[in-house]
Structure 1
């Protein structure tokens, strides 16, 4: 149940032409404490509850548990969430044997685009498309839970 993931800023929208799928995602946090986040997510017509633990020293690996719940339950739980609901469109882009998930944020995080790639091992090699920018793995500011509390629009 450990998730191994690396995050990057995205420098251009070139990834859009490579996308095989996109979904609108709305999510909120019942608990945004970095030690243990509890997230409620609606992805199109599906609801999910996710619990994530604190990341390791590099920020690439952390515990993650997720369960699908009824959309009506997710809608009700979103009403209980902390302020700062995240609204984004997620694009899926295949790259070699991996899949990048690129989040284009809306609302208070508009202008921020982050690519994530899940790996089987922290040291696994992977292709880096030309639209990838600076790596931000382990930078807490780029965690969705952090963005719900301190939105991108307030960084500047």
Structure 2
């Protein structure tokens, strides 16, 4: 949720990664996130989320992941609207984590991921490594208090998926990436990377020889 003067709106851009970048290891306290979608249609969604410090090892079933969060978990409920031009309505409120855990345990459509947070240049980035049915998906996001313009895009970003609804968590909850990962990689190889060009000037970090595009 934005803490600027824009109220319940988020401003973010999202990117597909081929793998977890080395910079993710600079986060000393990655988070484990387990979230369930109670409703999702036409870009609108209602989700509940538990998050807390990621354990060193974990089972990938939803129930085991919730249990691994223990007493340090934080619970939230969020309502979202459709995204347009890197902007999306998002209202988030705190909930009792015990209640959220019980809701997740009774919900079919669950997404789990380990989240790393890093600071690159002038922006804070998150890197999400998805678990269970959405493995081996890795996404990165950058969020600001206003539109994300004139962005310096790190070399680990293979392509932008800010406007690709397939990479929204509510879609992944119903259509896990693992089932269509190979199809997407073939699509990316065929079409090549794309980046949103309506949000100012994109700057790209130089890629080293041999790195994925």
Q: Same fold (TM over 0.5)?
A: yes
TM-superposition CA deviations, 1:49-97 (whole Å, max 9, x none): 01101112x3x1110000111111111221343x231111000011122
SS in 1 for 2:50: strand
TM-superposition CA deviations, 1:12-37 (whole Å, max 9, x none): 42232333531000001010223420
Contact 1:30 1:80 in 2 (8 A): no
* Aligned position for 2:164: 139
> Which one has the bigger helix percentage?
2
* Aligned position for 1:51: 79
Flag the structure with more relative contact order, 1 or 2, with Cα contacts below 8 A and sequence separation at least 6: 1
Equivalent residue for 1:121, pick from 128, 134, 146: 146
Contact 1:14 1:131 in 2 (8 A): no
* Aligned position for 1:77: 103
* Aligned position for 1:94: 119
* Aligned position for 1:61: 87
Structure-2 change in CA distance of 1:123 and 1:117 (3 Å): closer
Work out the CA distance in 2 between the residues paired with 1:90 and 1:26.
11
Work out the CA distance in 2 between the residues paired with 1:152 and 1:35.
18
Work out the CA distance in 1 between the residues paired with 2:91 and 2:118.
24
Instruction: Give every structure 1 segment of 4 or more consecutive aligned residues whose post-TM-superposition deviation is greater than 3 Å.
Output: none
Please give the TM-score of this superposition, normalised by the length of structure 1: 0.90
Gaps of 5+ in 2: 1-7, 53-72, 183-213
Work out the CA distance in 2 between the residues paired with 1:124 and 1:20.
29
1:17 partnered with 2:25: yes
Contact 1:7 1:135 in 2 (8 A): yes
Contact 2:13 2:148 in 1 (8 A): no
* Aligned position for 1:40: 48
